[in-house]
Amino acid sequence: PPGTIPETAADDVEGGAFAREGLTEEETEDMLYEQLRSMLNGEDDDAAERAAELRAKQESAAESPGDFGSSDSGEVRIPAAAALAQDDLRLSMRLAVDDDNGVITCEHLLSALEAIGVDNARIELEGSGEVPIVDGSAYQFAYECARVGLVPAHADGSTAEVPRMAWRPSEMITVRDGDAFVQFIPDAVTKLTYGVDFTYKSTAVGKQWESWTPTEDGDYVDLIARARTFGTMQDYMAYFRAGWIRGGLEQCALIANGDKFWNPPMILPNENARHKILDLVGDLSLMAEPGMAGVPIGHVLAYKGSHRLHAKFLAALAAAPKEKVPAELWSHGDKAIFQGGAVNTKMPVEPDEYPTG
Query: Which are the contacts of 141, defined by CB distance < 8 A and separation ≥ 6?
Result: 108, 109, 112, 113, 134
275 included as an active-site residue: no
How do the pLDDT tens digits run along the chain, 357 residues long?
A: 445 555 665 555 554 444 556 667 677 667 767 766 766 665 555 556 666 666 666 565 544 445 544 545 677 888 888 888 876 656 677 888 887 888 888 999 999 999 998 888 888 887 778 888 888 899 999 988 888 888 777 766 677 777 889 999 999 999 999 999 999 999 999 999 999 998 888 888 999 999 999 999 999 999 999 999 998 888 877 777 776 766 666 677 888 888 888 888 888 999 999 999 999 999 999 999 888 999 999 999 999 999 889 999 999 999 999 999 999 988 754 444 433 333 343 456 666 655 544
Residues forming a β-bridge with 181: 176, 303
- 10 Å Cβ neighbour count for 137? 28
What confidence score (pLDDT) does residue 337 get? 42
Query: Which are the contacts of 115, defined by CB distance < 8 A and separation ≥ 6?
Result: 138, 142, 214, 220, 221, 224, 225, 281, 330
What confidence score (pLDDT) does residue 353 get? 59
pLDDT digits (tens, 9 = 90+) for 301-318: 999 999 889 999 999 999
Nearest one of 74, 99, 73, 75 to 86, comparing CA atoms = 99
pLDDT digits (tens, 9 = 90+) for 229-239: 998 888 877 77
pLDDT digits (tens, 9 = 90+) for 244-285: 766 666 677 888 888 888 888 888 999 999 999 999 999 999
CB 321 within 8 A of CB 196: no
DSSP string, 26-52: HHHHHHHHHHHHHHHTT-STTHHHHHH
Annotated catalytic residue within 108, 275, 307, 310: 307
Nearest one of 273, 285, 295 to 223, comparing CA atoms = 273
What confidence score (pLDDT) does residue 63 get? 45
What confidence score (pLDDT) does residue 341 get? 37
